[in-house]
A and B are shown apart, each in its own frame.
Chain A
């Protein structure tokens, strides 16, 4: 069976791709381009810390340059490369590199299949294609795609009380972490899904009638992607998304992923007989997209749980750490070249026993919600100026932060 599949793929690789056969076969050609974002946040009662990403960068940084170099080798093979240059980040450029190859197996009128391998796009939800500044009507990313919880892949909370003691600290760059063992390095926690960093893996994607699909195997997980070859545990994440397009402008998507997220180096700190591969991130979600005339709507909801060592329910049994993320985003063209956009975004954390043996339960992290809204104006067809306001509310001590910001984003 496996040999037949390999043979079929080899035949597919050397034969013309269906409808594309009638076209002139393109010569190897490179497409260079990029986006340049200039931003300035007018920090009011708080810096835009809520938007800080793992590598110390931030979508509100003054200068961010993203370069693309896509190479069409022939009508079937394409290599995609992109890199983000942000002077505010202290990490090496290699950590901002995304590079993958796509092979178009076939393209028919009603169906197609492509394979991708390398540092591949996030195969969950519908936000990843809109994360670029020229496609994002606002400036930040939705919370569930970047906001850090306190949980880490390379460090363990010793107990419920240890986890609860650090509530709200995941977003801090100097998060000291837990007492349950693991890396002593100060670092951020894990988000539900970390789209700014892609994972090394392979993907099969395409369409069948009104269905679109993507299935992926990756070495990391959505919350702890591994952008370099070399896994931190023996398990792999399986993920996928199915979308149904009943008519143009309306898309319903459903995504799911499961995979071990803990670093194998934590084994000495794990309960007896347990390995890092025994603890999965399990996440599923739904997305909808609707567009009509001058209105575009996007909404997503994702329900996530991490199987976590040392976290117990009131009876001493294992307790998963649950998170619910959701956002609704609207963009409306007010007049030619001028649009308004708004996103309401929230993360709710599941309750766990507070460890006081009183039976009381509390959310394992502080719930947060965020409004971002503003207007954008096309200075030219390739340059957009945005004025946005962000209002962040946390149930924790950080309370409320709000600021205005401007961003001028050009694509070339």
Chain B
């Protein structure tokens, strides 16, 4: 490796490891909501192993991991992430049940079931229909409109997922304990929103310091 390359690597590592700008704080908090065990509606017709799955008949939904917390009104340009997000089709479900992506993101929809799925969305946001494709294949969609995208499968009416397209990369999906953290929030007072697929939006006005932490909590 040449000296120039080593110097470049050190410089890049320095940038990557450098602390956040002195004028950015971290937004932390908790989301209180309990997951609900939901029995999936039984199929009225037998569709066979190559047209429907043997997936679990009971699923847990609506817990903290189905909530998205994001910051609105942050000034600046936010290029869409290069890395694609994923919404997997497996066991006749979309995983995760709720996905959050910044505006302009591309979402991949890999099929991991032995049978066809046909992902589509016609509710708000970007309308799309990815057609039928088999196991091991994927299709993608770029989402350019902010808001809630309701995703369904045209073949399996019980499949449903939500993609929340947020205005910038300053968002978080809480862990199972409800805790979340959004780093690198520029100093200022912002509207912080939390969205739950069953209960909709809640919002708080939060002052984020130039350094340090601001806290906010939501309960659904």
Which residues from chain A sit less than 8 Å from chain B, CB to CB? 19-20, 23-24, 26-27, 29, 31, 33, 68, 70, 72, 75, 78, 80, 82, 102, 107, 109-110, 112, 114, 121, 128-129, 134, 205-207, 210, 212, 214, 243, 245, 247-249, 251, 291-294, 296, 333, 335-337, 378, 380-381, 411
Contacts and interface: CB of A to CB of B under 8 A. Distances in A.
B131 interface: yes
Given A23-B56, A24-B37, A214-B46, A293 B132 contact: yes
Nearest to B133: A293
B49 A121 contact: no
Contact of A248 (B44, B50, B123): B50
A249 B134 contact: yes
A121 B48 CA distance: 15
Interface in B76-131: 114-116, 120-123, 127-129, 131
Given A31-B41, A72-B39, A245 B47 contact: no
A381 B121 CA distance: 7
A70 B42 contact: yes
A212 B49 CA distance: 8
Contacts, number: 105
Contact of A109 (B51, B54, B58, B115): B54
Interface residues of B, number: 34
B42 A249 contact: no
Contacts of A336: 120-122, 127-129
A248 B114 contact: yes
Contacts of A333: 129, 131
Given A212-B48, A336-B121, A381-B152, 8 more contacts: A70-B42, A248-B51, A292-B132, A294-B129, A335-B127, A337-B122, A380-B123, A381-B123
Contacts of A378: 122
A247 B150 contact: no
A27 B38 CA distance: 10
Contacts of A292: 131-132
B41 A70 contact: yes
Contacts of B114: 248
Contacts of B120: 336-337, 381
A54 B29 CA distance: 63
Contacts of B204: none
B54 A107 contact: yes
A292 B134 CA distance: 9
B45 interface: yes
Contacts of B45: 121, 128-129
B46 A206 contact: yes
Nearest to B46: A205
A207 B49 contact: yes
B116 A245 contact: no
B39 A337 contact: no
